Amino acid sequence: MTYLEAINSVLRRLREDQAATALESDYSALIGDFINDAKRIVENSWNWSALRDTISVSTVNGISEYSLVGSGQEAVVKNVVNDSSNRFMGLETKDYFNNVYYLQDVVSGSPNVYTFIGVDSNDDMKVKVYPQPDGIYNLRFDVAKTQGLLEADATKINVPHNPVVQMAFAMALRERGETGGQSAAEQFAVASTALSDAIAIDANRYPGETTFMVV
């Protein structure tokens, strides 16, 4: 479903005229804002299949800090692999990195651990790796990253669209204050059910991520 299709889906439920473009009127633009708000809530509710990607980083001799280009600030790193050395990399604390980089002699070699060190000027996450690379190593970061703000009419919504539309409709009902029928509270309950169902369907693809063990 595209951004404009989602807007019109909500407008029809409100018994309003459909829009030819997202910015056709102040009201269609408002519904567009609700679509973006609802999309972000849905995105943050689960690491959706449609949001998963792999970001490759090629190290440089003597450089330990790298940006995960295209990740954005809200990406979730699922796992990291040093593809050149055929091993997984572990996540370590900032204290650990302060110790190995500033309180003792720095070791160079194939990286096996990483830590987060903020974001760059493009709002992409930055990481630091250790040992400090002594050559070119291909690091693979498997991430779940959010889609950018919906602006163009033809942009497709990556996450399941039904919970997005249902939640945006609930927001529109709450803003309107009267519906002549369904209340905003009832519609938020419908949206919550739609979101739970969508998560359950997608979660079947990753059974290991929904299995918890007592330790």
The pLDDT tens digits of the residues spanning 87-114 come to 999 999 999 999 999 999 999 999 999 9
C-alpha count within 13 angstroms, C-beta hemisphere, residue 148: 9
Q: Which residue has the tokens 């980083």?
A: 57
Judge contact between 166 and 191, C-beta under 8 A. yes
The strand pairing partners of 158, in sequence order, are none
**What ranges do the domains of the chain cover?**
3-44+147-206, 51-144
Q: Which residue has the tokens 């979730």?
A: 76
The pLDDT tens digits of the residues spanning 163-202 come to 999 999 999 999 988 666 778 999 999 999 999 999 999 9
Q: What percent of the chain has pLDDT over 70?
A: 96
Quick one: tokens of 73? 């600030």
Alpha helices in the chain (DSSP H): 3-13, 26-43, 94-102, 161-176, 184-203
What's the gap between Cα 23 and its chain centre? 25
Q: Which residue has the tokens 């009127």?
A: 25
Q: Letter for the amino acid at 212?
A: F
The pLDDT tens digits of the residues spanning 116-140 come to 999 999 999 999 999 999 999 999 9
